[in-house]
């Protein structure tokens, strides 16, 4: 009984304690029980910080469940008379820093207090030059449009958004400083501080805001923050489809999409030899006789609610040897169809004092080759061609001064072009309704195969200029420069480059500019990544977006290859001419013109070009990567001095240096400056005397070349040959070089 009573008292005391705790919790303020309210937008102050202006605190005002209160301060002193979201700036605020405390309340959440620091108030606001408009949005200057998708129609993960602010056209001049910030659901995105922001996968379905600040020389400051227009769809993660079956005549191939979302709507397009097969739009395809020995692939497109439509490309089906993409077909169709003419063209050649006769003859030959090729579309009339070397800037300035109509077509002046580009460039334009062509040329051994494309490239622009004096194309930005680059390669280089070794390396080099322009590491080849993914929608974006001239060279050349190979040079040129002749003023009118002209010439919509070319884009991207890797495999990637590196391998039983090994050596011997080289080769216990002699000869020939190269560079060379025994079989016969300063 005693024990029972004791337990009863213990139970009662615990109950009393629990009741007390409950009462305490109920009496506690809501902020101690509930999570703080997290707004999905930045809470800050925006406006023009000048006497007479009104600034405003922005907060989730579109959420009716949110109640907000405001306190304003000038140099930290509270302004008791103001409790609204806006503050009218008066002379009493002059030279004071404005700040605000914004308290947000929402049922079920603890109060959230934000302190927003503004800027110092200037004595006046700038005179505005009215409103500016873009599509359906109107903004008073200075001001900002809401952030919009850039290069794509709607905000898309992987592509940039753009915050367009116009602080100009006022009596305060231009800002001395402009700053940008980007927010995801009210929180700053780390590192996002440029005018553009590339949407990340975690941005899908979220609220993205941009913020802006402009500071003028007189001290006036203008700020703005606005939400991205348009929702951000989620990305589909698609694995590569696979093809079941073998390439045998009459066999049925099946497209398999293992792991794809079952709710998505799938569509199919089969390709043979990198060209779409008309009507082959189901998950199965029956192999035809013409398909044997060709690349048979399927592109599967997935459309899913709430997600960006995407596609993925299969690898070629198995069953027979697959032919690789053949870009040479297009180039050969150009130069093999060239008929040399005896026509004397109306071209006046002017040369600077340092241009040699051999250089002039070489360049004339290339121009005449282009003239013969284009003779059915354009005949030169009153054309002036000027050749100048890097040492003739003063002469070139005097020549341009004698032709005032040329001056406006040479931005920055001819001297800046010569000195900044160190030759190898060319300018083509129309002045007084006549074609003018200025090229900075290299003499003798200073010239290389790349220079041979310049004349035919610019000649292609002459053909384009004959259609319209304004070559800019907003909706097909790759055409003008891409077409010229293709014909420059086809007429100037491809006849001497049957493997397209240089052509592919050149196009890969242009592709690296996409990395630089978009903030990636040089040589990452993000543009080639896009093409190799096999997403036709991204490919169409690349065809429609504006970029650098270098990107246009790569994209335009690859598209030119595909169109010329499959439709012929004449159709390709007809499309270019009709488009330039009929394009509208503005992107909308130009797009309408191209839609009509492209289908009239090629028989399908331009908006399908990205899909039609997907397999070819993918295949060519692999070829460009391979050319870049091959050309740059010997490049220096680390300091040479105090390093030991393996010389590229010798062929079996060989002990003479091949061109690849010589290039590798020359890169490293020129670095540093290197002055001492030790060449070591290795042998094993069972190495024969004959093989040992070959190994020793390899090390000796490497050091002999090193000695000769260093001597030619004016350095006192010290070289040593060593032969060492090792148990490492892979090292037998290899040569390692140790470099010292």
Residues 248 and 164 in one domain: no
- Secondary structure element (H or E) that encloses residue 121, with its range: none
Is 662 within the bounds of a domain? yes
For residue 145, the domain's CATH number is 2.60.40
Residue 40 above 80 pLDDT?
Answer: yes
Its domain, for residue 187, covers 131-227
Residue 1's pLDDT band (cuts 50, 70, 90): very low
Contacts of 181 (CB under 8 A, 6+ apart): 188, 192, 193, 210, 211, 212
Exposed/middle/buried for residue 422 (C-beta within 10 Å: 0-12, 13-18, 19+):
exposed
Tens of pLDDT, residues 731-741: 999 999 999 98
**Is pLDDT of 5 > 50?**
no
Banded model confidence at residue 17, pLDDT cuts 50, 70, 90: very low
- The pLDDT value given to residue 79: 96
pLDDT in tens, 504-562: 999 999 999 999 988 889 999 999 999 999 999 999 999 998 889 999 999 999 999 99
Residue 176 and residue 50 in one domain: no
What's this model's pTM, rounded to 2 decimal places? 0.83
Mean pLDDT, rounded, for 10-37: 50
Q: Tell me: pLDDT of 13 over 60.
A: no
- Residue 341 located in a structural domain: no
Are 522 and 581 in contact by the 8 Å Cβ rule? The answer is no
Residue 186 lies in a domain: yes
Q: Is the per-residue pLDDT at 490 higher than 90?
A: yes
Exposed (0-12), middle (13-18) or buried (19+): which is 338, by Cβ within 10 Å? middle
Q: What HEC string does 307-366 produce?
A: ECCEEEECCCCECCCCCCCCCHHHHHHHHCCCCCCCCCCCEEEEECCCCCHHHHHHHHHH
pLDDT mean over 684-696: 95
Query: Which is it for strands 131-134 and 86-88: parallel, antiparallel or unpaired?
Result: unpaired
Mean pLDDT of the 327-332 span:
97
Looking at the structure, do residues 617 and 686 belong to the same domain, yes or no? Answer: no
Sorting pLDDT into bands at 50, 70 and 90, what band is 425?
confident
For the chain, the maximum distance between any two Cα atoms, rounded to a whole number of angstroms, is 130
Q: State the pLDDT at residue 546.
A: 85
Percent of the chain with pLDDT strictly greater than 90: 78
In this structure, is residue 337 part of a structural domain? no
How many Cβ atoms sit within 10 Å of the Cβ of residue 171? 10
Q: Which of 120, 144, 125, 214 is nearest to 175 (CA)?
A: 214
Q: What secondary structure letter does DSSP report for 445?
A: G
Confidence bin at 148 (pLDDT 50/70/90)? very high
Domain boundary among the residues 307, 323, 339 is at 323
Examine residue 333 and state whether it is found in any structural domain, yes or no.
no
One domain for residues 318 and 249? yes
**Mean per-residue pLDDT for 694-698?**
96
Last residue of a domain, one of 68, 89, 120: 120
Q: Angle at Cα 708 formed by Cα 702 and Cα 710, nearest 5°?
A: 100
- CB 144, CB 209: distance < 8 Å: no
What pLDDT does 433 receive?
86
Helix, strand, coil percentages, rounded to 5, for the chain: 35, 25, 40
Same domain, residue pair 627 and 650: no
Share of residues in the chain with pLDDT > 70 (%): 95
- Residue 256 pLDDT class (50, 70, 90 cuts): very high
| Interacting residues of 647 by C-beta distance below 8 A, sequence separation 6+ | 661, 664, 665, 702, 734, 735, 736, 737
Average pLDDT, the chain: 91
Over the stretch 330-383, which tens digit does the pLDDT of each residue have? Answer: 999 999 878 888 889 999 999 999 999 999 999 999 999 999 999 999 999 999
Q: Flag whether 166 is in a domain.
A: yes
Dig out the tokens for 188 from the structure.
Answer: 């700053």
Question: In which order are the strands placed within the sheet that holds 644-646?
Answer: 644-646, 735-740, 676-683, 718-725
Are 79 and 10 in the same domain?
no
- Check residue 320 and give its pLDDT: 67
Does the structure show a pLDDT above 60 at 429? yes
> Nearest Cα to 311, choosing from 618, 34, 91?
618
> What is the tens place of the pLDDT at every residue in 108-133?
999 999 999 999 999 999 987 788 88
Q: 120, 145, 171 — which closes off a domain?
A: 120
Q: How far apart are CA 102 and CA 407, in angstroms?
A: 57
pLDDT for 27 beyond 70: no
Residues 360 and 278 in one domain: no
Q: Of 472 and 698, which is predicted with more confidence?
A: 698
The pLDDT of residue 176: 96
Asked if the structure places residue 264 within a domain, the reply is: yes
> 388-410, pLDDT tens digit by residue?
999 999 999 999 999 999 988 89
Write the DSSP symbol of residue 144: E
Same domain, 58 and 115: yes
Region 630-658: mean pLDDT is: 92
Per-residue confidence (pLDDT) for residue 422, from 0 to 100? 75
Q: What total number of domains does the chain contain?
A: 6
Give residue 472's pLDDT band: very low, low, confident or very high (50, 70, 90): confident
* Crossing angle of the two packed helices 614-632 and 501-517, in degrees rounded to 10: 100
721 sits in which H/E element: strand 718-725
pLDDT of 282 over the 70 cut: yes
Would you say residue 439 has pLDDT above 50?
A: yes
| Residue 260: CATH number of its domain | 2.60.40.2700
Same domain, 138 and 269: no
d(CA 553, CA 485): 6
Whether residue 247 sits in one domain with residue 221 = no
Cα–Cα distance, 708 to 701 (Å, whole number): 11
Q: What is the pLDDT of residues 288-323, one digit of tens each?
A: 999 999 999 999 999 999 999 999 999 999 876 788
In a domain, 332, yes or no: no
Q: What CATH number does residue 440 fall under?
A: 1.10.390
Mean pLDDT, residues 645-672? 92
Are both 26 and 50 inside the same structural domain?
no
Residue 581 has, within 13 A of its CA and on its CB side, a CA count of: 12
pLDDT at position 587 is: 84
Task: Average the pLDDT over 80-92 and give the result.
Answer: 95
pLDDT of residue 18: 44
Mean pLDDT to the nearest integer, 638-662: 92
pLDDT, residue 33, reads 56
451 vs 563, higher pLDDT? 563
Sheet holding 265-272, edge to edge: 275-276, 265-272, 296-303, 310-313
Instruction: Say whether both 391 and 522 belong to one domain.
Output: yes
pLDDT band at 583 (very low <50, low <70, confident <90, very high): confident
3-class SS at 601?
A: helix
For 234, the 3-state DSSP assignment is strand
């Amino acid at each position: 009984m005693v024990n029972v009573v004791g337990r009863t008292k213990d139970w009662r005391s615990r109950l009393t304690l629990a009741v007390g705790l409950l009462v305490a919790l109920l009496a506690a303020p809501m902020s101690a029980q509930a999570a703080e309210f997290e707004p999905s937008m930045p809470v800050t102050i925006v406006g023009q910080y000048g006497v007479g202006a009104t600034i405003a605190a922005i907060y989730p005002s579109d959420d009716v469940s949110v109640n907000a209160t405001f306190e304003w301060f000038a140099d930290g002193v509270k302004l008791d008379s103001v409790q609204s979201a806006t503050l009218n700036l008066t002379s009493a605020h002059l030279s004071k820093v404005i700040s605000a405390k914004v308290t947000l309340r929402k049922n079920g959440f603890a109060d959230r207090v934000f302190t927003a620091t503004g800027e110092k108030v200037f004595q006046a606001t700038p005179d505005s030059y009215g409103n500016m408009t873009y599509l359906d949005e109107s903004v008073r200057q200075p001001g900002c449009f809401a952030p919009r998708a850039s290069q794509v129609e709607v905000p898309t993960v992987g592509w940039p958004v753009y915050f367009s602010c116009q602080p100009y056209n006022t009596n305060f001049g231009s800002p001395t400083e402009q700053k940008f910030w980007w927010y995801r659901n009210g929180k700053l995105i780390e590192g996002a501080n440029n005018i553009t922001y590339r949407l990340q996968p975690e941005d899908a379905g979220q609220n993205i805001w941009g913020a802006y600040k402009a500071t003028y020389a007189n001290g006036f400051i203008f700020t703005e923050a606005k939400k991205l227009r348009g929702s951000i769809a989620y990305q589909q993660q698609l694995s590569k489809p696979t093809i079941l079956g073998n390439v045998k005549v009459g066999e049925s191939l099946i497209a398999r999409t293992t792991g794809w979302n079952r709710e998505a709507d799938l569509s199919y397009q089969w390709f043979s030899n990198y060209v779409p097969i008309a009507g082959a739009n189901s998950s199965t395809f029956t192999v035809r006789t013409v398909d044997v020995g060709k690349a048979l692939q399927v592109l599967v497109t997935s459309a899913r609610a709430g997600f960006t439509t995407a596609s993925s490309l299969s690898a070629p089906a198995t069953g027979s040897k697959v032919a690789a993409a053949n870009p040479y077909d297009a180039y050969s169709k150009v130069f093999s169809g060239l008929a040399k003419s005896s026509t004397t063209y109306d071209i006046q050649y002017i040369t600077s004092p340092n241009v040699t006769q051999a250089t002039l003859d070489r360049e004339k030959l290339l121009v005449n080759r282009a003239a013969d090729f284009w003779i059915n579309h354009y005949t030169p009339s009153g054309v002036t061609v000027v050749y100048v070397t890097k040492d003739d800037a003063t002469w070139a300035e005097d020549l341009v001064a004698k032709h005032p109509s040329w001056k406006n077509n040479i931005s920055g002046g001819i001297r800046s072009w010569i000195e900044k580009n160190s030759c190898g460039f060319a300018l083509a334009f129309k002045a007084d309704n006549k074609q003018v062509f200025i090229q900075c040329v290299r003499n003798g051994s200073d010239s290389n195969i790349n220079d041979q494309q310049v004349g035919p490239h610019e000649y292609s622009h002459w053909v384009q200029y004959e259609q319209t004096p304004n070559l800019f194309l907003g909706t097909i930005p790759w055409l003008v420069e891409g077409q010229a680059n293709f014909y420059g390669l086809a007429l100037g280089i491809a006849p001497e480059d049957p493997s397209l070794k240089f052509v592919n390396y050149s196009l890969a080099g242009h592709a690296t500019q996409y990395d630089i322009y978009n903030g990636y590491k040089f040589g990452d080849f993000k543009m080639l990544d896009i093409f190799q993914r096999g997403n036709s929608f991204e490919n169409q974006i690349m065809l429609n977006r504006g970029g650098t001239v270098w990107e246009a060279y790569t994209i335009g050349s690859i598209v030119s290859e595909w169109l010329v190979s499959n439709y012929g040079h004449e159709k390709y040129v007809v499309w270019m001419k009709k488009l330039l002749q009929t394009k509208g003023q503005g992107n909308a009118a130009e797009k309408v013109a191209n839609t009509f002209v492209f289908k009239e010439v090629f028989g399908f919509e331009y908006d399908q070009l990205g899909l039609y070319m997907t397999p070819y884009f993918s295949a060519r991207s692999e070829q460009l990567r391979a050319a870049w890797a091959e050309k740059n495999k010997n490049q220096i990637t680390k300091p040479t001095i105090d390093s030991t590196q393996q010389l590229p391998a010798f062929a079996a039983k060989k002990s003479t240096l091949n061109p690849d090994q010589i290039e590798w050596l020359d890169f490293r011997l020129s670095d540093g400056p290197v002055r001492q080289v030790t060449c070591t080769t290795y042998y094993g216990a069972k190495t024969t005397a004959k093989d040992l002699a070959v190994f020793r000869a390899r090390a000796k020939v490497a050091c002999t070349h090193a000695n000769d190269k260093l001597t030619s560079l004016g350095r006192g060379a010290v070289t040593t040959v060593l032969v060492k025994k090792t148990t490492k079989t892979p090292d037998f016969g290899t040569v390692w070089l140790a470099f010292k300063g």
